[in-house]
Amino acid sequence: MYKLIRPVLFNLDPETAHHLTLQLVRLAGILPPSRWLLESMFPAPEKQVEAFGLRFKNPVGLAAGYDKDGVALNGLAALGFGHLEIGTVTPRPQPGNPKPRVFRLVDDEAVINRMGFPGKGAGYMAEKLKGWKANRPAGQASLIVGVNLGKNKDTPLEEAANDYISLMRTFSPLADYLAINISSPNTAGLRRLQGREMLESLLGQVSAARAGSPCPILVKIAPDLTDDELDDALGVIQSSGMDGVIATNTTLGREGLGSRHRAESGGLSGRPLRGLSEAVLSKVVKRLGGKIPVIGVGGIMSPADAKRKLDLGARLVQVYTGMIYAGPGLVKDIVNKIGRP
């Protein structure tokens, strides 16, 4: 069915198409008959995985960025995911970067985005999460929901910890896990927080503010770090007591692209990211030595891509751009075709 719909969506501006599909999924999730229809179209068998002290019904999740405000949880849950990561959320609402800011690279099966964390802010998302938890269908009780956290654009880097701590306090009681996003290329200076000195300060303050909260905290890293930078970041993540790593975010690299939008600024996702994300994942898994779990994300366009990440040592995987090109059926295809991790 998606093969019939995709040409229509691809004739729309990418951000318009995204908004349309998100709203359709949201509406489909509201009414039991339409939600049941989605569940019957995209069934995924249980292949349970344990990570971060949580039990996931299968290892496939939705990466952050698709549902930035947490508005479509019921509908997205019907697509077979084992977990959903919503956000990136910032403490205060912000519009993000000027449009156009999303570009399809169809020949490369890729997307470039420079969204810049647009969203309605922490208060709005918190209300959405509270409402979902209070009224979610019984069949969604086992769904794991994570929240991806980011700083506001106008918050100085030196004060970034205040934003992350504020978000942590808001969402720790509501989410199953939190992800600290310091690796988006679309907020000026954000990736500098991955450097040893700034990361030690940030995660040290976050760790001190946890106050024994059981909510796991993960850190999402960029694929563009040098080996020394990666070693520094992983060392700080471990020493500060974080619970996991998400590898990786989008890349600033443009090697081998053929599409006309290849020169657009922003983060590149999709098939061209696959090799780089796998290389970084392999290094991360080796460096961590099984001490904390890793989520593999980036360039998963097929079940074989997901299996490769699991074989490299990822405990879970996440998809996003692959769904744009393959459709929502990608989730059940992955779960059906991978073995039990």
Q: What is the DSSP track for 41-89?
A: HS------EEETTEEESSSEEEPTTSSTTS--HHHHHTTT-SEEEEEEE
Query: Residue 210 has which token pair?
Result: 């946890």
Distances (CA, A) of 327 to 58, 274, 301: 19, 18, 10
Q: Coil, strand, or helix at residue 166?
A: helix
Is 282 considered catalytic here?
A: no
Residues in the chain: 341
Is 125:69 a contact under the CB 8 Å cutoff? yes
**Of 144, 5, 170, nearest in space to 91 by CA:** 170
Strand locations in 96-188, DSSP E? 102-105, 110-113, 144-149, 177-181
Catalytic residue (choose from 184, 240, 269, 302): 184
Active site residues: 184
